[in-house]
C-alpha cells in the first residue's frame, strides 16, 4: 500500500524566514513559492513550508499511496479513523491523514511524483 515517504511539511509561521533558512541550508531555492505554501524538491522528495501550520503539531509526514481512497479504506478496516480530511491540492495531488493506534499517518496520492535516481557515488547518506 505505501510507496515510500514523499513529503514533509513544516509549520512556518515566519514563512519568509523559514524559506530563507532552507534556501541557505539547501543551496537552492524553492520550486513552488506562494504565500500559502512553499515547496523545495530535495533529491526528488518534497520539503514544504505551511504558513498556516500549527507549530505545536510539529512537521507532518506523508506516505505516498497509489490510490488515496483505497489506502484509507484499507487503514479504516484496520481500525484507523480520519484525521485530516482529504484535500485536492491541484494537479491530481490528494493529501490527508488517518489516526491509527494514536499515531497520525499522513497519506499523499501524487501522480506527478517521480523518484530521483540515487547519486552515482558512495558516501555519507548512501
Which residues span the domain enclosing 84? Answer: 4-109
Which residue matches cell numbers 485536492? 88
Q: What does the block give as the cell for 15? A: 514563512
**pLDDT one digit per residue (tens) for the chain, 126 residues:** 898 899 999 999 999 999 999 999 999 999 899 999 999 999 888 999 999 999 998 999 999 999 999 999 999 999 999 999 999 988 888 999 999 999 999 999 988 887 777 666 665 555
What pLDDT is recorded for position 126? 52
Total number of domains in the chain: 1
Measured CA to CA, the distance from residue 70 to residue 3 in angstroms comes to 13
What pLDDT is recorded for position 99? 96
Is 125 part of any domain?
no
Which has the closest alpha carbon to 63: 21, 9, 12?
9
* CATH number for 93: 3.10.180.10
Is 122 part of any domain?
no
| Beta strand 81-82 pairing with 45-50 | unpaired
Is 65 part of any domain?
yes
Amino acid at each position: 500500500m505505501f510507496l515510500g515517504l514523499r513529503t514533509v511539511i513544516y509549520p512556518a509561521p515566519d514563512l519568509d524566514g523559514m524559506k530563507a533558512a532552507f534556501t541557505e541550508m539547501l543551496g537552492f531555492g524553492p520550486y513552488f513559492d506562494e504565500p500559502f505554501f512553499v515547496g523545495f524538491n530535495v533529491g526528488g522528495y518534497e520539503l514544504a513550508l505551511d504558513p498556516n501550520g500549527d507549530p505545536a503539531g510539529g512537521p507532518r509526514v506523508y506516505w505516498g499511496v497509489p490510490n488515496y481512497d483505497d489506502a484509507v479504506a484499507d487503514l479504516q478496516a484496520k481500525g484507523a479513523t480520519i484525521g485530516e480530511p482529504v484535500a485536492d491540492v491541484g494537479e491530481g495531488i490528494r493529501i490527508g491523514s488517518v489516526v491509527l493506534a494514536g499515531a497520525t499517518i499522513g497519506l499523499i496520492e501524487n501522480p506527478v511524483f517521480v523518484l530521483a535516481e540515487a547519486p552515482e557515488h558512495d558516501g555519507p547518506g548512501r
